[in-house]
Structure 1
Amino acid sequence: MNILGYLQKIGRALMVPVATLPAAAILMGIGYWIDPTGWGSNSALAAFLIKSGAAIIDNMSILFAVGIAYGMSKDKDGAAALSGLVGYYVLTTLLSPGAVAQIQGLPLDQVPKAFAKINNQFIGILVGVITAELYNRFSSVELHKALAFFSGRRLVPIVTSVVMLALAFPLMYLWPIVFNGLVHFGESIMGMGPVGAGIYAFFNRLLIPVGLHHALNSVFWFDVAGINDIPNFLGGAKSLAEGKAVLGVTGMYQAGFFPIMMFGLPGAALAIYHTAKPQNKARVASLMIAAAFAAFFTGVTEPLEFSFMFVAPALYLLHAVLTGLSVYIAASMQWIAGFGFSAGLVDLVLSTKNPLAKDILMLVVQGFAFFAIYYFSFRFAIKTFNFKTPGQEEDDEEGVEQDGSPVSSDTDSLAHAYIDLIGGGANVVGIDSCITRLRLTLNDTAIVDEAAAKRLGASGVIKLNKTNVQIIVGAKAELIATRMSQLLAGKVIEVPAVAAVKVAAFAAPAVAVKPVMGNLVLVAPMSGEVVSLLQVPDAAFSSKAVGEGLAIRPTGKLVLAPADGVIAKIFNTNHAFALIADNGAELIVHIGLDTVKLGGKGFTRLLEQGSRVKAGDAVLELDLEYLTANAVSIISPVVVSNVEQFDGVIDFAVGQVEAGKTALYTIKAK
């Protein structure tokens, strides 16, 4: 994996601990609302809530170590998280001021001050990354029988402890250098005051497309470079009393985002809607309303930003500049509010009683101004430069449904479909997700079918390089990614061909179904021995969850069309195809079992997807020698997946069948 791809993986894993911040924000925000001046001294309930939230904020470094170790582990197992906790405690204990003084033989007052800050997010991130790599490497190791109890996942905490012990020694000398460098960087930005805040915000937006803004945020929002904007702001009066916060300063790296996320981006959404072509306005309205509401209410802006980020990069650059300007203005005027999750309405309301909040209503006034700025600047730019924002596409542009809705909202079907359009399991190296996007590591991103992704409802496909791609799928990203991982790990019944058909044959052309009077007799698509579905060694087929029919153990190299119709789908790996017969029967011919993992080896495609065929036309050619040696089984089911639309299947063949000549079974008309 290249550096960018690895940083992407870290960026996604950072979302695991960062996602805990809304809980802290709500608890502490309500606590400060109840007791804004005494931070709990005047109210037991307020103290209860504030301390509950502080339990999260004060232990962010531990959460980073545990969350990243879990998030970057290959199978998201709890053992990785436990190992992260073990590694964190070992390393931070060895690098505590007392331990350093004892190991180096120094008086305690001569230990570098950097070690007093060893319990920080940077160390948490470092431990989390190293632990995840150790877990991925050693969680499957089998030890000698005498030590068998410590094999596999039980081995990882032990290995992690040893590695952290070794890491502690160089860090005793390197950490003060790293820490002082980070502090110097933070101080240089702080020294720039509001200008520095604006520069930070500008780069924050620019890094959104590659998901690396989280790394930049950690410098300004958490205690890495001495700024610690979010925890100190959430600490409210306590942070102020302890000298950790300064009224009018703490929160300046957050405040200016509220006018952008709550007002500016919705203004851009309105401009995109107004500039859409008349025939596309209904579709664009549904997309923009949902995206603008998410930005206004929660501060989640990715659905809206990704709608124009790549179709109009100049607009996105304008957005980044305006964000920097907003943060600069708010910081200059000392209009301050903060957030625990993002700059939406929820966090703005929770900020109103925080003692560090200042002139919050002016942020709303600034927001109205930025709504107008975004609306008129985006509308002018779209019209003047003819940017292809949503609704401005050519009428025949591929990949856009006229009603603007995804082909299917079913997570299971979407997971199957996304696996197929990225080239199947053979092309997958790793699957991750962020709030709104699938983050995929593939052998070859060129295989990814962008048009099919858009037909499924994706708002964008980002090919970062030859091995890393992101697909913007919305709020269901994590659910889809989890389901994809389960399917590829074999933890659930995998029925890829059925999924493709059930997702409205997403890559198929429209098929004109001509009702056929009487029954439909299928011819055998392969020569070989007939096998009952009940004897197929695959639960999906033997349970008839896929459909009704028969299987064949092939002896010939050709696979033929079993009926007249249209090839609705041929999988990228050529291991299966779906045919919609002229009577509407959805037929699935699946060559072998688990053959999707062969990545197309052993198969040669003779016809293309969308081809009209007659019964007996050759569709695929097989390398039986290779398939017999490498496939789990070469038993090949031939089923009708929508049998419920007919009166059943009768006249099953037995024994040997000859491709294109022997009747395999009959689909009985109602």
Structure 2
Amino acid sequence: MLGYLQKVGRALMVPVATLPAAAILMGVGYWIDPDSWGAGNALAALLIKSGAAIIEHMSVLFAIGVAYGMSKDKDGAAALTGFVGFLVVTTLCSPAAVSMIQKIPLDQVPAAFGKIENQFVGILVGIISAEVYNRFSHVELPKALSFFSGRRLVPILVSFLMILVAFVLMYIWPVVFNGLVSFGESIQKLGSVGAGIYAFFNRLLIPVGLHHALNSVFWFDVAGINDIPKFLGGAQSIANGSGIPGITGRYQAGFFPIMMFGLPGAALAIYHCARPENRAKVGGIMLAAAFAAFFTGITEPLEFSFMFVAPVLYVIHALLTGLSVFIAASMHWIAGFGFSAGLVDMALSTRNPLAVHWWMLIPQGLVFFAIYYVVFRFTIQKFNLMTPGRELAADDETDGYDVNVDHSGSGESQTESLARRYIGAVGGSENLTNIDACITRLRLNVKDAAQVNDSVAKRLGASGIIRLNKQSVQIIVGTQAESIATAMKTVLTKGPVAAAATAPAAAQPAAPQPQAVLNSDKGVIATLVAPVSGEVVALDAVPDEAFASKAVGDGLAIKPTGKTVVAPIAGTIVKIFNTNHAFCLESENGVEIVVHMGLDTVALEGKGFSRLVEEGATVVAGQPVLEMDLDFLNANARSMISPVVVSNSDDFAGLNLLASGSVVAGETRLYEVKG
């Protein structure tokens, strides 16, 4: 369900992408003639009416855009199907048609049918049209009817299907519409508090890309809470501040202080908290991300820099966003935007007749700059959060994959070369099943999300990687996401692309500890040693379904008696969890190991564990990685049985289990991985 909703949210970006054009046209028109809204200036009237043409037909744009965006091959026939479906439904459910079909007087037709042309119906029609297109666009009819086969068949099918949809809507639409209105009114009755609650959840939904669906309720009048026309008669009182401006602009104005000032303050705090040797590198990243947030209102590159490495900061960010929107709504400081709350949209909003005391958002923003800086810096230092520049040294290795080298050797453009490397980072063309993008993220479908190499993707410039499930991955790459996605499709037409290989980093001096090396037997890929001293437990006896069922991978478990956890094989530490209870290690030849100390130990929030190496470090077998307070953990953890599994065991022929009874960390051979 989450994957499907994420797909809908991605499709919503197609019609939403037209809003900047409307915002610019109307903004410039209001700038020219702010008093009479085009009545006194022909050029202003031309621009305002042009922008209004987009805004007033957002419902049909949603039907077309969602149908196109959710279609499997992004063909124009899908867009046409959405348009046809919308025309049929809205015509049959218009007041006149309902009166005729149901044989009731026109004045007795429920008022809901006067609002049938709205974004909710547009989205519904778009989804249904896309599903029909994806299912029937390749159907072949008998030879006599072959002209209507394939894509030509879909609009015909949808036109008949929408008759049924319209019939159903004739009876349930009043209920649905009244429910939406009740929802809108309940939020509206909360006033400024409701605006703050909306803004809080707007930020929390960013990681899964579902904030677009939430925005449609509050920005596109789906629930009847932004009824601008009823305020136009009172525009003069709104402009001079003598009247109550009502609801209009309540759900947008407070974003300006966050986008333009608050997040740049967070970026400065992250920069100052970075290690001295890393500040030059972090400073460049933070400066670019902060400027993007300030100027354009695009915040994802900055938000994803701390969203997953320090989730507590992201919750604080969501709370502060809700507070900012609440304050702006309470004070009736109003400014709207067509794209995002950056400097460009603020400049366009200043001459909008409905903008009220918009300049007060600037001092509010300066206050939030200070709040973000102080709160972020204090939280990072107090809890030792691993924000950019604190977890890795500046000369961190590139995992054997030089992002500055064109690995294709084919003279491709820079974008295509980058796209080829992103394909390699997600497991190669064999693992990639679908490519799409929105404003700042690649939205990819893969066969196995575990094959996505986070470290390589981040070396290529990705701000973050999100695994929605085993087949859905999002990679945050910034505003060039659309061009990279297009280039990835172009690259795939040229032939298969191999997965990015993780080469060994520079060797480190080996301690006098045993190495887990390649077995001389060509059937054995690698041999692992015990990562901790203790008693061996069979994996199917682990009291955790995910490990016992081998969903996480195959291997063994150990009930520890020792306090030091070592690397079970030579390789690269690709991940250490913030709570230090587990780490992931990748060997030179691609064996991916997960060492998970205890069960549900993440709930201890790091207590009882301390890390001895950092992410990205190259380790040898037997090298200490974690230190445990075993007395504390035995007293407080649900269980200290610790699985040691090969997460990509399906890529190999199997495991040969070697250990039983007692094992010694760094010495006892645990199991072999067969090629």
* TM-score of the superposed pair, with normalisation by structure 1: 0.71
3-state secondary structure, aligned to 1:307 = coil
Matching of residue 128 in structure 1 with residue 95 in structure 2: no
Matching of residue 186 in structure 1 with residue 181 in structure 2: no
- Which residue in 1 is equivalent to 2:82? 84
Matching of residue 213 in structure 1 with residue 211 in structure 2: yes
Distance change >3 Å, CA 149–CA 403, structure 1 → 2:
closer
Please give the residue correspondences for 1:107-506 in structure 2 after superposition, counting only pairs within 5 Å. Answer: 107-228=105-226, 232=228, 237=232, 240=235, 247=245, 249-395=247-393, 410-488=414-492, 492-494=493-495, 496=497
Report the CA distance between 1:423 and its aligned residue.
2.6
- How far, CA to CA, are the matches of 2:324 and 2:220 in structure 1? 21
Distance change >3 Å, CA 487–CA 291, structure 1 → 2:
same
Report the CA distance between 1:307 and its aligned residue.
0.4
Report the CA distance between 1:237 and its aligned residue.
5.0
3-state secondary structure, aligned to 1:36 = coil
- How far, CA to CA, are the matches of 2:261 and 2:401 in structure 1? 27
Matching of residue 508 in structure 1 with residue 503 in structure 2: yes
Report the CA distance between 1:474 and its aligned residue.
1.5
Aligned partner letter, 1:327:
V
- How far, CA to CA, are the matches of 2:148 and 2:90 in structure 1? 25
- How far, CA to CA, are the matches of 2:307 and 2:336 in structure 1? 26
3-state secondary structure, aligned to 2:434 = strand
- Per-residue CA deviations over 1:586-631 (Å, capped at 9, x if unaligned) read xxxxxxxxxxxxx9999989xxxxxxxxxxxxxx99xxxxxxxxxx
Report the CA distance between 1:431 and its aligned residue.
2.2
Distance change >3 Å, CA 569–CA 19, structure 1 → 2:
farther
CA contact (8 A) 2:271 2:283 kept: yes
- Per-residue CA deviations over 1:39-85 (Å, capped at 9, x if unaligned) read 11100011000000000000000111111111111111111111111
- How far, CA to CA, are the matches of 1:319 and 1:601 in structure 2? 40
- How far, CA to CA, are the matches of 2:331 and 2:651 in structure 1? 68
Distance change >3 Å, CA 58–CA 16, structure 1 → 2:
same
- Per-residue CA deviations over 1:329-348 (Å, capped at 9, x if unaligned) read 11111111111111111111
3-state secondary structure, aligned to 2:466 = strand
- Which residue in 2 is equivalent to 1:589? none
- How far, CA to CA, are the matches of 2:425 and 2:66 in structure 1? 29
- How far, CA to CA, are the matches of 2:403 and 2:362 in structure 1? 33
Aligned partner letter, 1:421:
A
CA contact (8 A) 2:429 2:496 kept: no
Distance change >3 Å, CA 93–CA 397, structure 1 → 2:
farther
- Tell me whether 422-431 or 46-55 shows the greater mean CA deviation: 422-431
- Which residue in 2 is equivalent to 1:665? none
Distance change >3 Å, CA 317–CA 86, structure 1 → 2:
same
- How far, CA to CA, are the matches of 2:399 and 2:589 in structure 1? 21
3-state secondary structure, aligned to 1:474 = coil
Q: After the TM superposition, list the runs of 4 or more consecutive aligned residues in structure 1 that deviate by more than 6 angstroms.
A: 396-409, 568-572, 599-605
Aligned partner letter, 1:329:
I
Aligned partner letter, 1:507:
T
Matching of residue 96 in structure 1 with residue 94 in structure 2: yes
Aligned partner letter, 1:42:
G
Aligned partner letter, 2:291:
F
Distance change >3 Å, CA 176–CA 269, structure 1 → 2:
same
3-state secondary structure, aligned to 1:355 = coil
- Per-residue CA deviations over 1:489-541 (Å, capped at 9, x if unaligned) read xxx312525xx7xxxx77334699xxxxxxxxxxxxxxxxxxxxxxxxxxxxx
Distance change >3 Å, CA 493–CA 394, structure 1 → 2:
closer
Distance change >3 Å, CA 241–CA 115, structure 1 → 2:
farther
Aligned partner letter, 1:181:
G
Aligned partner letter, 1:318:
I
Aligned partner letter, 1:457:
G
- How far, CA to CA, are the matches of 2:162 and 2:307 in structure 1? 41
Report the CA distance between 1:214 and its aligned residue.
0.8
3-state secondary structure, aligned to 2:34 = coil
3-state secondary structure, aligned to 2:200 = helix
User: What is the identity percentage for the equivalent residue pairs of Structure 1 and Structure 2?
Assistant: 67
CA contact (8 A) 2:34 2:353 kept: yes
- How far, CA to CA, are the matches of 1:601 and 1:73 in structure 2? 32
- How far, CA to CA, are the matches of 2:588 and 2:154 in structure 1? 44
CA contact (8 A) 1:438 1:478 kept: yes
- Which residue in 1 is equivalent to 2:7? 9
What are the ranges of 5 or more consecutive residues in structure 2 without an aligned counterpart? 407-412, 508-586, 592-647, 655-673
Report the CA distance between 1:356 and its aligned residue.
1.1
Aligned partner letter, 2:223:
A
3-state secondary structure, aligned to 2:392 = coil
- Which residue in 2 is equivalent to 1:655? none
- How far, CA to CA, are the matches of 1:36 and 1:401 in structure 2? 57
Distance change >3 Å, CA 265–CA 80, structure 1 → 2:
same
CA contact (8 A) 1:236 1:355 kept: no
- Which residue in 1 is equivalent to 2:55? 57
- Per-residue CA deviations over 1:390-411 (Å, capped at 9, x if unaligned) read 1111339977799998767922
Report the CA distance between 1:422 and its aligned residue.
2.2
Distance change >3 Å, CA 602–CA 151, structure 1 → 2:
farther
RMSD: 3.2
Report the CA distance between 1:148 and its aligned residue.
0.6
- Tell me whether 64-73 or 437-446 shows the greater mean CA deviation: 437-446
Aligned partner letter, 1:179:
F
Report the CA distance between 1:362 and its aligned residue.
0.9
- How far, CA to CA, are the matches of 2:506 and 2:159 in structure 1? 61
Report the CA distance between 1:224 and its aligned residue.
0.8
- How far, CA to CA, are the matches of 2:282 and 2:350 in structure 1? 34
In the alignment of these two chains, the number of paired residues is: 512
- Which residue in 1 is equivalent to 2:46? 48
- How far, CA to CA, are the matches of 2:477 and 2:270 in structure 1? 20
- Per-residue CA deviations over 1:167-199 (Å, capped at 9, x if unaligned) read 111111111111111100100110011111111
Aligned partner letter, 1:463:
R
CA contact (8 A) 2:399 2:456 kept: no
Aligned partner letter, 1:272:
I
- How far, CA to CA, are the matches of 1:601 and 1:239 in structure 2? 67
CA contact (8 A) 1:280 1:402 kept: no
- Per-residue CA deviations over 1:472-499 (Å, capped at 9, x if unaligned) read 11222112222333444xxx312525xx
Please give the residue correspondences for 1:517-666 in structure 2 after superposition, counting only pairs within 5 Å. Answer: none
- How far, CA to CA, are the matches of 2:89 and 2:485 in structure 1? 33
- How far, CA to CA, are the matches of 1:602 and 1:255 in structure 2? 52
- Which residue in 2 is equivalent to 1:21? 19
- Which residue in 2 is equivalent to 1:640? none
Distance change >3 Å, CA 150–CA 238, structure 1 → 2:
farther
CA contact (8 A) 2:258 2:324 kept: yes
Report the CA distance between 1:419 and its aligned residue.
2.4
Distance change >3 Å, CA 41–CA 493, structure 1 → 2:
same
Distance change >3 Å, CA 407–CA 360, structure 1 → 2:
farther
Report the CA distance between 1:361 and its aligned residue.
1.4
- How far, CA to CA, are the matches of 2:101 and 2:246 in structure 1? 43
- Per-residue CA deviations over 1:6-57 (Å, capped at 9, x if unaligned) read 0000101101100111111111011111111211110001100000000000
